[in-house]
Amino acid sequence: MPILEGRGVTRYFGGLAAVFEVDFEVEQGEVFGLIGPNGAGKTTLFNLISAALAPKSGSIKFRGKEITGLKPYQICRMGVARTFQTVKVFSNMPVFDNVLLGAFFGRRDSMTGAKARKETTALLEFVDLANAIAVPAKDLTLANQKRLEVARALATGPELLLLDEMMEGLNPTEVSRAMALVKSIQERGITVIMIEHVMRAIMNVCGRIMVLHHGAKIAEGTPREISASKKVIEVYFGERTDA
């Protein structure tokens, strides 16, 4: 049974189909890439999975259980965590408290204060922010704010993690560190779906990739298959014309 399964997932914005009849299956333990040009509907699909938006039709199942119609906090407690394309850290709160919140509220079974603090400390070490625990989140660099969001999401004890453009706006060194982080998250047994524009990251980290274009799925496969796909190349670079 796939960990996440979507059937005919559809959402309109006005008359425009942001996501249209998309089917997908994400297997336990894989890193699943979601790519496509701007406006393809990638973030909308994330919003539908995490219940920030409700689909117009279609079904989304997590571990075989229908999750459409639930509230974001319920989805989170079930084991699906996410980060945001434009970082949404709690700017004026210390780094530690940002993560502690996830540990306190995002879990199915509530934790004692001591256990939540221990978990928070461990996760901040995991994302390499252990030396910044008292710093207000707004004072971190963009790369570190993104890592903080990852730690906050991990604190909720997810089985599935949705990463929305974690590499966007990072320099090459930071991208490499972020790639290593995604791999070590996978090693923890957490399934990852990532939206990404940085091709180096996508090709190296993902086991399978799905390509969206104008809200519809146009391709799916391994990085090698996707990079060879004529359809995908057309979408990204335009149609080849023989001059």
Partner 1 sequence: MGIGKKTSKNAFVFGLVLLILILLAAAPLYASLYTVILLTSILMYVTIAVSWTLFSGPTGYISLASAAFFGAGIYTSAIVGRTFPLPLVIVLGALVSFCLAILVGSLTLRLKGIYFVMFTFGLVELLLHFILWWEVNITGTTGRVVPAVANTTVFYTMLMILVLLMLTAFFIRHSRFGLALQSVGENEEAASHSGVHVTALKIIIYGVSALFMGAAGASMAARWTYIDPTIAFNPLISFMPVLMAIFGGIRPLYGPLIGAAIFTYLEQFLITRFPYYYMLIFGIIMVVAILYMPDGLIGLAQRVWQKSSRRKHADT
The amino acid occupying position 47 is N
Q: Does 101 bind partner 1 (CB under 8 A)?
A: yes
d(CA 162, CA 107): 16
Each residue 65-94 as x (binds partner 1 by CB under 8 A) or -, in order, gives ------xxx-xxx---xx-x---xxxxxxx
Each residue 175-214 as x (binds partner 1 by CB under 8 A) or -, in order, gives ----------------------------------------
Name the residue nearer to partner 1 (CB basis): 20 or 46.
46
C-beta of residue 209 within 8 angstroms of C-beta of residue 222 = yes
Q: Does 240 bind partner 1 (CB under 8 A)?
A: no
Name the residue nearer to partner 1 (CB basis): 1 or 114.
114
Each residue 133-152 as x (binds partner 1 by CB under 8 A) or -, in order, gives xx-----------------x
Name the residue nearer to partner 1 (CB basis): 75 or 211.
75
Q: Does 13 bind partner 1 (CB under 8 A)?
A: no
Tokens of 62: 């997590």
Applying CB under 8 A, the residues found at the interface with partner 1 are 50, 52, 71-73, 75-77, 81-82, 84, 88-94, 96-97, 100-102, 104-107, 113, 133-134, 152-153, 155-156
